Amino acid sequence: MSDASPPVLRFAPSPTGLLHVGNARTALLNALIARRRGGTFILRLDDTDAARSRAEFADAIAADLAWLGIPPDLRVRQSDRLALYADAAGRLTAAGRLYACYESEEELDLKRKLQRARGLPPVYDRAALRLTEAERARYAAEGRAPHWRFLLSQREVAWNDGVRGPQQVDTASLSDPVLVRADGSFLYTLPSVVDDMALGVTQVVRGEDHVTNTAVQIEIIEALGGTPPLFAHHNLLTLPSGEGLSKRLGHLSLSALRAEGIEALAVAAAAVLVGTARPVQPVASLDDLAALVDLSDISRAPARFDPQDLASLSARTLHLMPFAVARRRLLAQGIDAGEAFWLAVRGNLLRFEDAAHWWRVCCAPLAATAAAAPEDVAFLAAAAAALPAEPWDGSTYGSWIAAIKATSGRSGKALFHPLRRALTGEDRGPELAGLLPLMGRARVDARLRGMQEPL
Ligand code: GLU
């Protein structure tokens, strides 16, 4: 593959649970590399395990990727592609690289125990290759269906891992892997390899739990006449306790984080940057995050992920959010706000939905305002009297405050707190300087005097 040709990457989850932050790390690394280099990002649903795969998880995965901002360019599912795998299995059998085995699980277990007892590695002894025709016929007569193993070439297989650097595995140290079960169903390995070849995948970025599969996969690809893609195996995310994340146990699922109001871009930044040489930091866009992706920056140690950090990262992500992005989301809630509103409030948001609250504070009568404290009534009336004429802009607040300060003699909290309470109904919030022009003189005047506001 020449470096200039657009790459093809894929994310290949099994639809057996909800995606968690660790899965998002894999998905994002693939999608962002594709995005940065003008390539293709494929969602491949590894659903050959019919008993555990569910359509609702497949739909949830697609929804999660869309939420993260990385919808795939192409979506395939392995259950639609079984003929391709059968064809590949046929070719491997014809080439003498796939062979029938008849051992039961119990027999294999016993073999491994004996090997261990003799201090030998528990590698499959290839006894099936030595079966006579008579023995095969007997198994067939007994109705024993074979499972099928790939004949490894027992050599050093090397690849240059995008994260881990040069890797070498002697496949003589591995058991010939079972590719097809006795019931004819495929284990993960062959479909994965066949799809990577058929879909022209140029680069496989996945968790380091797959490092041990890589030498086997390279051998199978070569046996099928293909060229291996580039492989990169990233460290896995763990909980702060060191416990691994589990799809089955529903750890840190993306849908739960979404329901909590955590920003997708914050989840993305955390998922991609934790456990790398770069600090976890908020970003303004996925393109900015893509620019920070560097596989060689990824640490070899597990990456500890603390969910406690997400709320603050999410807030800091909102503080950077460009108006164009916020505008789309505000419009979806029926809020047609201008950039001045967004710039006035974004630095104060913990969650995006807080923006709707501040919109109402600026542009609609306050639902419930506590009456001003008796000692503030006259002060607020004087402040109302000092309001400058419109038009108002960013400097209005400063000159108004200077005037109130001079006439009232108040300063600090005694000055600012009653104003904020009267104008917003709250003790804290965005800078009043930004809110004032949005509220307009009539509304501000009414609130200061405790009178009926314009609608
Ligand atoms: N379905 C596999 C998994 O979720 C895919 C592994 C791969 O990327 O090759 O672990």
The predicted pLDDT at position 2 comes to 47
Residue 160 sits in the same domain as residue 273: yes
- CATH of residue 419: 1.10.10.350
Distance CA 351, CA 356 (A): 10
Does the residue 455 lie in any domain? no
Quick: pLDDT tens for 246-267.
877 778 899 999 999 999 999 9
Residue 22 sits in the same domain as residue 120: no
Reported as a pLDDT band with limits 50, 70 and 90, residue 371 is confident
Reported as a pLDDT band with limits 50, 70 and 90, residue 370 is low
Mean pLDDT of 389-397: 95
Residue 72 sits in the same domain as residue 208: yes
Select from 46, 77, 194 the residue to mutate for testing ligand 1; criterion: most ligand atoms less than 8 Å from CB. Answer: 46
Contact 14 CB / ligand 1 (< 6 Å)? yes
Residue 294 sits in the same domain as residue 341: no
Select from 14, 194, 230, 245 the residue to mutate for testing ligand 1; criterion: most ligand atoms less than 8 Å from CB. Answer: 14
Reported as a pLDDT band with limits 50, 70 and 90, residue 372 is confident
pLDDT at 455 over 90: no
Atom of ligand 1 nearest to the CA of 206: 8
Distance CA 397, CA 434 (A): 8
For ligand 1, the distance from its centroid to the CA atom of residue 310, given in whole angstroms, is 26
Quick: pLDDT tens for 185-205.
999 999 999 999 999 999 999
Does the residue 360 lie in any domain? no
Contact 194 CB / ligand 1 (< 6 Å)? no
Contact 171 CB / ligand 1 (< 6 Å)? no
- CATH of residue 73: 3.40.50.620
Quick: pLDDT tens for 296-352.
999 999 999 998 999 999 999 999 999 999 999 999 999 999 999 999 999 999 999
The predicted pLDDT at position 247 comes to 79
Distance CA 310, CA 356 (A): 21
Residue 254 sits in the same domain as residue 290: yes
Residue 277 sits in the same domain as residue 160: yes
Mean pLDDT of 272-291: 97
Quick: pLDDT tens for 37-56.
999 999 999 999 989 999 99
Quick: pLDDT tens for 75-125.
999 999 999 999 999 999 999 999 999 999 999 999 999 999 999 999 999
Atom of ligand 1 nearest to the CA of 46: 1
Select from 192, 212, 214, 246 the residue to mutate for testing ligand 1; criterion: most ligand atoms less than 8 Å from CB. Answer: 192
Residue 295 sits in the same domain as residue 310: yes
pTM of the model: 0.92
Mean pLDDT of 127-134: 96
Share above pLDDT 70 across residues of the chain, in percent, rounded to a whole number: 99
Rounded to the nearest integer, the mean pLDDT of the chain is: 95
Number of domains making up the chain: 4
Nearest C-alpha neighbor of 339 from the set 353, 355, 351, 360 = 355
Contact 210 CB / ligand 1 (< 6 Å)? yes
Does the residue 18 lie in any domain? yes
Mean pLDDT of 138-143: 93
Q: Find out whether the peptide bond into 365 is cis, omega within 30 degrees of 0.
A: no
Contact 192 CB / ligand 1 (< 6 Å)? yes
Mean pLDDT of 136-147: 94
Distant-in-sequence, close-in-space partners of 108: CB < 8 Å, separation ≥ 6: 124
The predicted pLDDT at position 1 comes to 46
* Atom 3 of ligand 1, residue of closest alpha carbon: 13
3-state secondary structure of 344: helix
Mean pLDDT of 171-183: 97
For ligand 1, the distance from its centroid to the CA atom of residue 12, given in whole angstroms, is 5
Contact 53 CB / ligand 1 (< 6 Å)? no
Structure tokens at 81: 């592609």
Residue 249 sits in the same domain as residue 339: no
Mean pLDDT of 49-65: 96
Q: Please provide the DSSP assignment of 371-395 as one string.
A: PPPHHHHHHHHHHHHTPPPSP--TT
Structural domain boundaries, residue 23: 1-78+156-165+187-320
